[in-house]
Amino acid sequence: MPATTFEFQVEARQLLQLMIHSIYSNKDVFLRELVSNASDALDKLRLEKLRDDALDADVSDLHIGIDVDKEARTLTVRDNGIGMSYDEVGQLIGTIANSGTAQFLQELREAKDEAGAEGLIGRFGVGFYSGFMVADEVTLVTRRAGEDRGTRWTSRGEGTYTLEAVDDAPQGTSITLHLKPADPENQLHDYTDPWKIREIVKRYSDFITWPVRMVPESAATDGDGDGGEAPAPETLNSTKALWARPRDEVSDDEYHELYKHIGHDWQDPLETIRLQAEGTFEYQALLFLPAHAPHDLFTRDSKRGVQLYVKRVFIMDDCEALLPPYLRFVKGVVDAADLSLNVSREILQQDRHIEMMRRRLTKKVLSTVKDMKAKDQDRYATFWREFGTVLKEGLVTDPETRDAILAVASFASTHDETEPTTLKQYVERMKDGQDDIYYLTGESRQAIENSPHMEAFRSRGIEVLLLTDAVDEVWADAVGEYEGKRLRSVAKGQIDLGAEDEDSSDGGREQQAEEYAGLLGWMQEQLDEDIKEVRLSSRLTVSPACIVSDAHDLTPALENMYRAMGQEVPRAKRILELNPDHHLVKGLNRTYREREDRTELAETAELLHGLAVLAEGGQPKEPARFVKLMTGRLERTL
C-alpha cells in the first residue's frame, strides 16, 4: 500500500501548533509523556494476553527502550507492547477525542500572557504531541500485537501526516524524534546525550514498573563497529511500584510524577494519600487530590480517576467501584492482593470486600480533607473551590458520610464578605433565640444579597448562608438539619423573626391583618393563576412585595433543573407577601377600600406581582404586557 497523506483534525492541528511553538518552557517532559504511553501499552498487552492466552504476542521480555543517535540527531522511544492497528493510528494519533480539548484550546487562546498559557497547558496532558516540542519531524512505527502488518506514521506537525503499511515492523510501537538543534537557553537540551536521558528518566519516570533500557550510543559505536560486542543495555529506572515501596523511601517528587502519569496532569497534586490494609483482604492504595478540577468533571461520562491493580498487574482504568461518584476527581492506584486477574467491572460492583474498601477509602479521603482544613487553610481553600460543588453531591447521595462531608464543607455567608464559614461556626454565632440555620440560594452572591427576602435578616443582623451552586438547594433539603438546628431557606415558608421593633408587635400585627384582610383576599382572586396565597410579610423592610415558596415546594430553580434533566414537574403556585409598612402597599389598601372601580387596581396588583418575580431573578409571565403596563404608569408620572 502506498503512503497516504491525511489532514489533522482541527483541534489536533491547533494543539500541534502550540507544541511546535513551544509555549511550554520545560521541554524535558516530552520524554515522560512518551515513556508513559509506552508503559500503558505494555500494561495493555499483558492484560490482553492474560485474558486471551491464544493471542499471538510475545510477552517474554516486555520493556521500554530508548536509543539515541548523535549523528543522525534522533531519539527513539520503543516498546514491545500492544501497538496500534492502521486504523487506530489514524484515530488515536490524528485526532483528539477528549471533549475537553476544544474548551481547553479556547481558554488557551483567551489567555493573554505566556504565564497564563503555560498554566493552562500544565492542566492538560498533551501526551504524544509533546514530541513536537523538541523535534521537527516524528516517525512512528507500530504493529498491533497479534497482527501481521505494521503501520508507519510520519509528520512534521504542520497540518498533515502520512500513513503507510509496513511489513517488517516489530510488535509494539517505536517513536523516532528528529530532534531540533539543541538550544539550552530555551531549555531545549541535547537529547542525544545519554546523561541527559538518564537524568530525565530518573526524575520523571523512575516509578514506571517496566524496565526502561538504553544502549548508550557511545558504547554502541565504540570499538571498530561490525566486530565489536553488543554493549549491554542499562536499565535507567528502579522499576518498583511506588505503593509497594516503604513509605519513607519515596520522596514527594516521586509521588508527584506518578500522579502526573496516571492523572494525565502536568501539575503537582494537592495531596498524596497512602493507605494499607492487611488481613483477609489485603490492598494498598495511593490516592491523590488534584490541584484543579478536570474539564469534564460535570459531564455525564466524566472519567473516574482510580486504577485497579492486582498484585502489581494493571487491571483497569477508571475503576468506578472504588470510590463513590462524588469523589470522581480523586486519582490514584489501588492494588488488591486477593482479586482474580479476570475480575470485571460488574463483579467489582457487587463484591463485599470492594464495598468495604470503598467505604474505607472514602473515609480516608474525607479525613485527609479535614486535616488539610485544620492545618493548611490555603490548600483547603483551593480544594474546596475546585471540588466543593462535587463533594456536596455526596450530601444528597450518601447519607452515611453526610456528617463527614458537612465537617469539611464551607459556605459563603453574610457574616464575612470573603471568608466562607462552616455550619459549626455558623451555629456558634447564632443569636439568642435563633433556632434555625438560614440560607438563601441564587445565581450569585450579589443577586442573593440584593434579594428582598434578605431584608428583615439584614436589618436584624441575622446571618444567612449564601448558596450559589445548583446542588445547594437539593442538599439543603435532603440534609434538613445540622446539630438539631433546622436548615431553612429564607425564601420559603413563614418567617417569624420575633417582634423586635414596636411597629410589628403582636397587637399591631393583628390589627394590620384585619385592615388588610379585604385586599389580600381580592388580590388572591386576581392572581389566582400563579399565586396560591397573598399574605402580609415579616421579612420585608424596604421592598413592597416578594415571592416565597411553601416550605416543601420546589423552587423555580429546582423546577428548571428537573425539567432540564427531562423530568415532568408541575409548576408550583407561589405565595405573594406584601410589606404592610410600605407606602405603596398602604396606598393600595386605601384605594381598595375607597374605590368601587377596581380596573386600575387590578393592573397595579399585576405589576406588583411582576416586580416581586423580577426581584427574585425570575421573569414576569408576559414580559411584553408587563412592560406596556409599566410604561403607561411611568408616562403618567411625567
Q: 468: part of which helix (H) or strand (E)? A: none
Measured at CB, which residue is nearest to ligand ADP?
127
585 to 230, 582, 590: CA distances (angstroms): 98, 5, 9
| Minimum distance of ligand ADP from residue 448's CB (angstroms) | 40
Q: What are the two backbone dihedrals, phi and then psi, of residue 447, each rounded to the nearest 5 degrees?
A: -60, -40
| Minimum distance of ligand ADP from residue 167's CB (angstroms) | 19
Of the pair 79, 606, the CB lying nearest ligand ADP is at 79
Between CA 383 and CA 184 the distance in angstroms is: 36
Which three cell numbers, joined as nine digits, stand for 319?
475503576
| Minimum distance of ligand ADP from residue 126's CB (angstroms) | 7
| Minimum distance of ligand ADP from residue 446's CB (angstroms) | 39
| Minimum distance of ligand ADP from residue 13's CB (angstroms) | 14
| Minimum distance of ligand ADP from residue 70's CB (angstroms) | 24
| Minimum distance of ligand ADP from residue 390's CB (angstroms) | 22
Beta-sheet pairing, 212-215 with 64-69: parallel
4 to 144, 151, 161: CA distances (angstroms): 19, 11, 8
Residue with cell 519531524: 137
| Minimum distance of ligand ADP from residue 82's CB (angstroms) | 5
Between CA 265 and CA 260 the distance in angstroms is: 5
Of the pair 303, 460, the CB lying nearest ligand ADP is at 303
| Minimum distance of ligand ADP from residue 575's CB (angstroms) | 53
599 SS3 class: helix
| Minimum distance of ligand ADP from residue 98's CB (angstroms) | 7
CB 596 within 8 A of CB 564: no
Amino acid at 97: A
| Minimum distance of ligand ADP from residue 142's CB (angstroms) | 6
Under the rule (CB under 6 A), what is the footprint of ligand ADP?
A: 37-38, 41, 79, 81-84, 92-93, 125, 127-129, 173, 264
Between CA 433 and CA 340 the distance in angstroms is: 60
Of the pair 43, 393, the CB lying nearest ligand ADP is at 43
Between CA 41 and CA 392 the distance in angstroms is: 37
> Which residues, in sequence order, are CB contacts of 321 under 8 Å at separation 6+?
345, 348, 349, 351, 354, 358
The residues pairing with 78 across neighbouring beta strands, listed in sequence order, are: 65, 174
427 SS3 class: helix
How many CB atoms are closer than 10 A to CB 332? 26
Which three cell numbers, joined as nine digits, stand for 598?
377596581
Residue with cell 458520610: 401
Residue with cell 386600575: 600
444 SS3 class: coil
In terms of DSSP H, where are the helices of 351-401?
A: 352-375, 377-397
Say which DSSP state 206 is in.
T
Q: What letters, b where the CB count within 10 A reaches 16 and e where it falls short, cover 541-551?
A: bebbbbbbbee
